[in-house]
Amino acid sequence: MFTKKALASALLAAGMLGGAVMPQTASAAIEVYVNAPPPEVRYERVPEARRGYVWSPGYWDWRGNKHVWVKGSSVRERQGYQYEPHRWVERDGRWNLEHSRWNQTRNDRDGDGVPNNRDRKPDNPNKH
């Protein structure tokens, strides 16, 4: 009886260890919609520009069922890409935080973040 318990415990421990060592192969993005709009954006003093970096302004994040301010920071620049900061978007009376991202600017004549070969109107002066 004792050996069966010891063997079962050893197998369970080995299985847990093996699971911890296994690399994660896929991840899923989770979008959160909230009914409360974010508060007004706080004023932040933007520091002097640093070569090779862009400023990512502060934003309101949603944590623990409430809006929490996240201070701005410098982000290493990516050549050929344009930085788009975090922003809240309203859809049907509910709010969703779109996280910051880098948009490719190469071969993007109108600067809308869509490469010309995928842009329906690559020279549209009304990008927004």
Residue 108: give the domain boundaries.
31-128
Task: Assess if residue 7 is contained within a domain.
Answer: no
Task: Assess if residue 3 is contained within a domain.
Answer: no
pTM for this one? 0.59
Structure-model confidence comparison of residues 110 and 78, the more confident one: 78
Rounded CA-CA distance 68/44 in Å is 15
Task: Assess if residue 52 is contained within a domain.
Answer: yes
pLDDT of residue 19: 47
Task: Assess if residue 15 is contained within a domain.
Answer: no
Task: Assess if residue 44 is contained within a domain.
Answer: yes
Q: Give me the number of domains the chain comprises.
A: 1
Task: Assess if residue 10 is contained within a domain.
Answer: no
Segment 25-62, tens digit of pLDDT: 565 667 788 999 999 999 999 999 899 999 999 999 99
79 — pLDDT class (breaks 50, 70, 90)? confident
Could you give phi then psi for residue 15, rounded to 5 degrees? -65, -40
What is the amino acid identity at position 60?
Answer: W
Closest Cα partner for 57 from 34, 38, 75? 75
Task: Assess if residue 65 is contained within a domain.
Answer: yes
